[in-house]
Homo-oligomer: A and B are copies of this chain.
Amino acid sequence: MPKSINVHFLPELIPEQLLAKKTFVVIDVLRATTTIAHALAAGAKSVVPCLEVADVRQRKGELAGEVVLGGERDGVKIEGFDFGNSPAEYTAESVGGKTLLFTTTNGTRAMKRASGAAQVLLAAFANFSAVCDRLSREQHIEVLCAGTNQEVAREDVLLAGAIVDDQHNSDSRISMNDQALLAADSWSRFRQDLADHETPLHETLRSSRGGRNLIEIGLERDIEIAAQIDTLYVVPKLDLGAWRITSA
């Protein structure tokens, strides 16, 4: 059986029977998976993804050790929380050795949708090569784009395409669904624009709906960080039993 890689543009598009025995890669470039990769690379002990703000407050009382709260609603920091959803907030000083309780709607929803899988990894442009190296050992890969409020997000599909391209380069017989072909088309177009007009990745991310939203609320700097490729070598992995993310 040949190696396979399928892409799903939204959590809602995954057929139920697909989950078992597969390696899932969850992508939420702007910004959950980018920020979680930064937090783990900065030395956070683990990240606990929560769907609701109330879950964060409840889990806080249950956890031992030093705990910090992070996440966003409508893009901005939640009242009473330590941090928002900007990668730059998560440093060795702010989260090193601590447990991060983290809530972000789209990313958490995507992780929950993948929770019947064999394993769930998290990808961002920041840890692109680390994830690809890890995937080279896997036989059946499902790449799940988080999207934004049930709308397809171009930045997530773009990274999915970069991963498809990488896996196809190392095994040209790899089978893929049409969404994987389309994601690869999008990545191919970005590379062409880069070659023809020197359009950097952050320019491309600015034009997506998620990018425009961040610019509107003054968080343009987050787009630049999210667009930096291979700044971290970390593979966030969701422990499905304990429901926490650690560095694999």
Indicate whether A10 reaches chain B with its CB closer than 8 angstroms.
Answer: yes
The answer to whether B181 touches A207 (Cβ under 8 A) is yes
Among A12, A157, A178, A182, the one with the most B-chain Cβ atoms within 10 Å of its Cβ is A178
Among A150, A152, A153, A154, the one with the most B-chain Cβ atoms within 10 Å of its Cβ is A152
- With contacts A209-B177, A209-B178 taken as known, whether A9 is within 8 angstroms of B152 at the C-beta atoms is yes
Chain A interfacial positions (CB closer than 8 Å to B): 9-10, 12-13, 15, 150-154, 157, 177-179, 181-182, 185-186, 188-190, 192, 207-210
In the bound complex, CA of A9 to CA of B12 (Å) = 13
- With contacts A13-B10, A182-B182 taken as known, whether A177 is within 8 angstroms of B151 at the C-beta atoms is yes
Among A177, A182, A190, the one with the most B-chain Cβ atoms within 10 Å of its Cβ is A182
Closest B residue, CB atoms, query A184: B189
- With contacts A10-B13, A152-B13 taken as known, whether A182 is within 8 angstroms of B178 at the C-beta atoms is no
The answer to whether A178 touches B192 (Cβ under 8 A) is no
Among A179, A188, A189, A210, the one with the most B-chain Cβ atoms within 10 Å of its Cβ is A189
Distance from A114 Cβ to chain B, minimum over Cβ atoms (Å): 18
**Chain B residues with CB under 8 A of A15:** 150
**Chain B residues with CB under 8 A of A157:** 178, 182
In the bound complex, CA of A119 to CA of B15 (Å) = 32
Closest B residue, CB atoms, query A178: B154
**Chain B residues with CB under 8 A of A151:** 177-179
